[in-house]
Amino acid sequence: MDTLLIEGVARLAGDFHASGAKNAALPCLAATLLTSQPVRLRNVPALRDIRTMTALLAEMGARLVWDEATGTVDIDCSGVFRLEAPYDLVRTMRASVLCLGPLVARYGHARVSLPGGCAIGERPIDQHLAAVEALGARIDLSHGYVDARARRLVGARIPMEMVTVTGTMNAAMAATLARGESVIENAACEPEVVDLCDFLRAMGAEIEGDGSPTIHIQGCEELAGGEFPVMADRIEAGTYLIGCAMTGGRVCFTKEELRHLHLPLDLLTRAGVHVADEDEAWVVTGPERLTAVDVTTAPYPAFPTDLQAQWMAAMATADGVSVVREEVFENRFMHVSELLRMGADIRVDGSTAVVRGVPALSGAPVMATDLRASASLVLAGLIARGETRLSRIYHLDRGYERLEEKLAALGARVVREGS
């Protein structure tokens, strides 16, 4: 199994180039099930999760051609015949559940495996089910599968009991082909939801209010094909941004890449980071040592849970004590025990972690159980003295395109080794 060898201490310097967003590309791929006409998606990142989603669509009968070098995926769902997301694929990637809404909306039937718990929490899909049920689907749960059926979905009020990103996406996709108007209340406002809605609009859907908690969708008979560029990955950009800050680096980001990172940028400025406006770019310079700053994760526009682990790695050597609260997932502190092994001083009490900044970390063999925890350990490895060897890097390959190449281009010594 491959490992990542990180030589500290590094200082990131140079130009960053964001990949397409995993969490926008996945729903856009699922949304192609809504049309029988050809679709071209651009800026699709070459990631393991994308591979899983394309394999799922191919198993359903879609024809796909993915040019990884250009990030272009051509998809034709006219031959889809198998209306199922099987356990084997849903187990490896929860986002497979995004096929539920499109399948039941277009074909009147979907069979999707229940995902079960995962490394960062229980993560039920009750809100996804309630949404398609509100649109008139009959839901049957048996043998570990959701079976959803409807002759034609009918527009309805969809009140979400909590803010859920993929739940909102499933509801929105299903509502585009329902008869009449739907209103999603308490919708997620994440930029990836807006990106999906932009794609749906490009296919002819009538949607208003995305990016706010109330989304209005006027259902239509059918959607057309089209071409759409997936947005830049704000979480990838945020990871490198935090990496730049904590290594005292100097990295240039385009304004587009940091467009949705207002709060992290604001907090980094409070922590001592300097951000200079240079035409189309933001030039970010980290201080010799960051100052401790508290964060609490919550749905957008608050601090993203997907950057919490990376923030904690940065706070591990900051000057002072910071409090990190995780309010989205119940079990997203899996990186803490590994950071402790690198010399960090962190105490966890329920959903709160108290981080006392130490002068330095030391490299160690570490492993992680999820994608963002792995990213935080890579960042910690950059500032740790000596060598950090990260195992189970298949987690990283799910969500960070060409990580070692991009870090090396910024001056870090990071090498992938096979075993």
Q: Which of 77, 99, 118, 244 is catalytic?
A: 118
Cα separation, 257 vs 247, whole angstroms: 20
Cα separation, 46 vs 69, whole angstroms: 8
Q: Of 291, 321, 292, 297, nearest to 309 (Cα)? A: 297
Output the smallest distance, CB 362 to ligand EPU, in A: 27
Q: Of 411, 407, 403, 358, nearest to 385 (Cα)? A: 358
The answer to whether the CB of 157 falls within 8 A of the CB of 124 is no
Output the smallest distance, CB 359 to ligand EPU, in A: 30
Output the smallest distance, CB 187 to ligand EPU, in A: 11
Looking at the Cβ atoms of 123 and 179, the one nearer to ligand EPU is: 123
Output the smallest distance, CB 49 to ligand EPU, in A: 8
244 is catalytic: no
Looking at the Cβ atoms of 116 and 180, the one nearer to ligand EPU is: 116
Q: Give burial (CB, 10 Å; 0-12/13-18/19+) of 278.
A: exposed
Phi-psi region of 51 (alpha: psi -120 to 50; beta: other; left: phi over 0): alpha
Looking at the Cβ atoms of 117 and 365, the one nearer to ligand EPU is: 117
Q: Of 181, 119, 179, 90, nearest to 332 (Cα)? A: 119
| Interacting residues of 384 by C-beta distance below 8 A, sequence separation 6+ | 6, 8, 9, 342, 343, 360, 361, 362, 363, 364
Q: Of 41, 58, 373, 322, nearest to 196 (Cα)? A: 41
Output the smallest distance, CB 287 to ligand EPU, in A: 28
Output the smallest distance, CB 129 to ligand EPU, in A: 7
Looking at the Cβ atoms of 305 and 322, the one nearer to ligand EPU is: 305
Residues that bind ligand EPU (CB under 6 A): 23, 26, 94-95, 121-128, 162, 164-167, 305-306, 328-329, 371-372, 399
Looking at the Cβ atoms of 124 and 209, the one nearer to ligand EPU is: 124
Return the number of other C-beta atoms located less than 10 Å from residue 412's C-beta. Answer: 26
Looking at the Cβ atoms of 126 and 222, the one nearer to ligand EPU is: 126
Q: Of 375, 405, 400, 403, nearest to 390 (Cα)? A: 375
Output the smallest distance, CB 96 to ligand EPU, in A: 10
Cα separation, 53 vs 185, whole angstroms: 28
Looking at the Cβ atoms of 235 and 383, the one nearer to ligand EPU is: 235
Query: Peptide bond before 366: cis, by omega within 30 degrees of 0?
Result: no
**Distance set, CA 231 to CA 142, 146, 226, 235, 255 (Å):** 37, 31, 16, 11, 13
Cite the DSSP H helix spans in 257-345. Answer: 262-270, 308-315, 336-341
DSSP 290: P
Cα separation, 317 vs 30, whole angstroms: 41
Q: Of 54, 45, 14, nearest to 399 (Cα)? A: 45
Amino acid at 181: E
Looking at the Cβ atoms of 31 and 165, the one nearer to ligand EPU is: 165
Cα separation, 332 vs 189, whole angstroms: 21
Output the smallest distance, CB 109 to ligand EPU, in A: 21
Residues noted as catalytic: 118
